[in-house]
Amino acid sequence: MKTLKSPLGGTIDELLVAPGQTVAPDTVLLVVQSMKMFYEIRADKRARIIAVDVVTSELIAEGQALLRLMELNESETDPPAAPLRMAEPGEKVRADLQQLRDRLAFLPDDMRHEAVARRHALGMRTARENIADLCDADSFAEYGALAVAAQRRRRSLDDLIRNTPADGMITGIGNINGDQFGKDASRCVVMAYDATVLAGTQGLYNHQKTDRLLEIALRHRLPVVLFAEGGGGRPGDTDAAIVAGLHVATFGSYARLSGKVPVVGIAAGRCFAGNAALLGCSDVIIATRNSNIGMGGPAMIAGGGLGQFTPEQIGPSQFQGANGVIDILVDDEAQATSVAKHYLSFFQGGVNRWTCHDQSSLRDALPANRAQTYVMRHIMELIADTDSLLELRGGFGQGILTALARIEGRPLGLIANNPLHLGGAIDADAADKSSRFLQLCNAHGLPVVSLVDTPGFMVGPDVEAKAQVRHVSRMFLQGANLRVPFFAVVLRKGYGLGAMAMTGGGFHVPVATVAWPSGEFGAMGIEGAARLGFSKELAAKEEGPEREALFRSLVDQAYEQGKAINMASALEIDAVIDPAQTRDWLTKGLMSAKTGEPKSPPIDSW
C-alpha cells in the first residue's frame, strides 16, 4: 500500500475518487487550490483507492497525506492516457486562441483587399511585401503586431483593428542573406512605415514600437533597415495627454546607432517630415525614381505661408540624387530591396566563392596619351570581384568615385579620382563625399583602397568662395584618424596636396603606396611647375616657337624626373607594379594588415 502526499500547501478544491475505485495512469485524483491556482494531483500507475484522508475545502499542508492506494499490475485492457496535441483545422478551439486568430487576421495583405489594390495601382508594393522580399523565408519575427492607432476616444476598436493594423508601423527581426553568412551573422532589425495606414504617419504606438526595436538593435549590435514612407507626426491620436510630442526618443535613438551598426534607409513614394528625418540619419539612402524626399511636405510648406505645392514638386529624386541626399538611385522597390541586401552583405563577412575579370586587361586600361581621359569606373570593375562593385552617391561629387567592393571575397571600400570630371581635380563636393565614405568604412571596419589619378585640389577664386579650404581639409582629418588598413595605387597623376589627401595624408600613411608604370608625380602639376619655376627663362625667350620649345623641354625633363620608377628608387613610394598584379598586391596587403581599435572621431571641418 502507498500513501499519496500533497506536494504543496493549499485547500482541497475537488475530490474525484472514492475508496474501492480503480484508476488508470494519469487519472486526476483530486484538485488542490493554492495561491489562486489549481493543481491537479494525478495517479502515477494503475491503482485501487484504499482510503481517502481529506475532504473537500479542507486546508492542507505540504507533505500531508491525501489518500492511500494499492498499485496494481499494468493491464493490456487499460487505455493509455491521451497525449496533449494542438487542435486540428476545423476543430473547436479555445476562445482566447480564437480571439488572437481573429485579431491577426487583419494583418496579412490578403485581408486588406482595397488598400492593397490601391497600392498596386500605383505600381508599388505593400510594406509587408517589401519585408517578405528582404528577409529570408519564415525568418521575420514581428514585434507589436497587435497595436492599433491611439484613437480609441474617437473611433471604435473594431474600426481601429480593421483600418489601423500595427499602428501603421511593422517592426521585427529577421535574417537577411542567411544563406551566405549563416543565421547569426544575418540577423537584422527591420522596420517599415505602412503608407496604406493613415498615410504612413508617425503615431503614439508606432513610435513606441520603433523605440523598442532600436534599443534592441543597439544592445545586440544588429543592423537596421528602415522603409521610410509617409509623413511626420499624426495629430489625430487622442488617447494620451500629449501637447506637442517633442519628447519622443525615436529620432535620437535612431541617430545613436550611427557608427555602431550598419543603418540602411529605403525611400519609395512620398517621404516627408519625421520619415525624412529618420531617413537622413541612415548610413546609406536607397531611393526609387518615383520618390519625393523633403523635411517638410505640402501641408507644412503651406502652413508656413510659403505657397502651395504638390508632393511631386518637393524633393524629387533627380534633385536628391544630384545633391547627395540619395546614395543609390533605383527603379523600384524590388530593386531597392535587392540593393539593400547587397549593401548589407559587405558588413556581414567575406565570401568563399568569387570570380574576377582577366587582370591582364589592366595593362591597356589607360590611354598611351597621358593627357587623354578614360573611364575610371571601368578600372574599378576590373579590379573588384565580378559583380561585387556597389557605387555610392554616384550622382554627386563626380570628382571622386566611392564604392563598396570585394577582392578575393574580402569586403572593402574603394575610392578613386575621376579623370572625366575636372581632370580628376578634387572640389568641395568630391571632398565631402569621400570624407563621409571614409567615416563609413572606418566605423564598420572595412579596409580602404584608393585609386589615385589627380592633378590636385581644384583652385581659383570661384572655388575658394565655396569654402574649399574647409571642405577639402576633411580628407586629411578623416585619413589621419583611420583605424582600418589603407592602400593606395597611383594609376597616373599623383600631384600635390590632392594626391596626399587621396593617400590618407601622405604617401607613407597607407600600408602600401604603389604605382603603375604610367604614374607621374610632383609637388604640383608639371606644366604649372615649369611655368612658375622657370618663368624668367621662359620670359627671356621671344614668344613663339622658341619659347614653346623651351617649355616642352622643361616639361619633358620634369616628367622624366617624376616618373614612378624614379619615385620608387627614392623610396617615396613602396613599389612600381605591373597593373595586372594590382589585385595580387592588394590581396597580400589585406591578408597581413589588421584593423585597429576604434578611435574618437575627428572634429568635422564642415
Nearest-angstrom CA–CA distance, 575 and 579: 12
Given pLDDT bands bounded at 50, 70 and 90, which one contains residue 78?
low
Q: Supply the CATH classification number for the domain 97-345.
A: 3.90.226.10
Question: For domain 359-519+563-592, which architecture applies?
Answer: Alpha-Beta Complex (3.90)
Amino acid making up residue 532: L
Nearest-angstrom CA–CA distance, 56 and 36: 16
Dump pLDDT digits (tens) for 296-310: 888 888 888 889 999
Is residue 201 a contact partner of residue 232, using CB atoms and an 8 Å limit? Answer: yes
Mean pLDDT, residues 82-109 taken together: 74
Nearest-angstrom CA–CA distance, 400 and 519: 18
Is residue 476 a contact partner of residue 502, using CB atoms and an 8 Å limit? Answer: no
Mean pLDDT, residues 64-82 taken together: 74
Distances in whole angstroms, Cα of residue 298 to Cα of each of 99, 152, 235, 274, 523: 41, 28, 16, 14, 52
The DSSP call for residue 168 is G
Q: Does domain 2-71 have CATH number 2.40.50.100?
A: yes
Given pLDDT bands bounded at 50, 70 and 90, which one contains residue 90?
low
More confident residue, 127 or 81: 127
Dump pLDDT digits (tens) for 450-505: 999 999 999 899 999 989 999 999 999 999 999 999 999 999 999 999 999 999 99
- Look at residue 21 in the predicted model and tell me its pLDDT: 93
Cell of 456: 590636385
Dump pLDDT digits (tens) for 111-170: 888 899 999 999 999 999 999 999 999 999 999 999 998 888 889 888 888 888 999 999
Cell of 593: 594588415
Angle at the Cα of 157 from the Cα atoms of 152 and 160, rounded to 5 degrees: 85
Examine domains 2-71 and 359-519+563-592 and report if their fold is the same. Answer: no
Largest Cα span, the chain: 134
Is the CA virtual torsion 407, 409, 415, 418 positive or negative? positive
Given pLDDT bands bounded at 50, 70 and 90, which one contains residue 79?
low
- Look at residue 82 in the predicted model and tell me its pLDDT: 46
Dump pLDDT digits (tens) for 492-550: 999 999 999 999 999 999 999 999 999 999 877 777 666 767 777 777 777 878 788 87
Mean pLDDT of the chain: 90
Angle at the Cα of 458 from the Cα atoms of 452 and 464, rounded to 5 degrees: 145
Is residue 502 a contact partner of residue 515, using CB atoms and an 8 Å limit? Answer: no
Query: What are the beta bridge partners of residue 70?
Result: 48
- Look at residue 553 in the predicted model and tell me its pLDDT: 79
Dump pLDDT digits (tens) for 216-234: 999 999 999 999 999 888 8
Dump strand ranges (E) for 273-399: 284-288, 292-294, 328-330, 390-392
Is residue 49 a contact partner of residue 55, using CB atoms and an 8 Å limit? Answer: no
Report which of 475, 516, 474, 513 is spatially closest to residue 492, judged by C-alpha positions: 516
Report which of 231, 227, 411, 425 is spatially closest to residue 334, judged by C-alpha positions: 227
- Look at residue 601 in the predicted model and tell me its pLDDT: 66
Query: What are the beta bridge partners of residue 587?
Result: none
- What does pTM read for this prediction? 0.86
Nearest-angstrom CA–CA distance, 356 and 158: 58
Report which of 211, 230, 306, 304 is spatially closest to residue 272, judged by C-alpha positions: 230
Helix (H, G, I), strand (E, B) or coil at 23: strand
Torsion of CA 502, 505, 507, 511, to 10 degrees: -90
In the chain, where are the structural domains located? 2-71, 97-345, 359-519+563-592, 525-562
Nearest-angstrom CA–CA distance, 61 and 47: 24
Cell of 174: 529577421
Phi-psi region of 202 (alpha: psi -120 to 50; beta: other; left: phi over 0): beta
- Looking at the chain, how many residues does it have? 606
Angle, helix 545-561 to helix 526-533, in steps of 10 degrees: 120
Nearest-angstrom CA–CA distance, 520 and 563: 5
Dump strand ranges (E) for 43-100: 47-52, 59-60, 65-71
Angle, helix 376-383 to helix 582-592, in steps of 10 degrees: 60
- Look at residue 84 in the predicted model and tell me its pLDDT: 45
Mean pLDDT, residues 183-204 taken together: 91
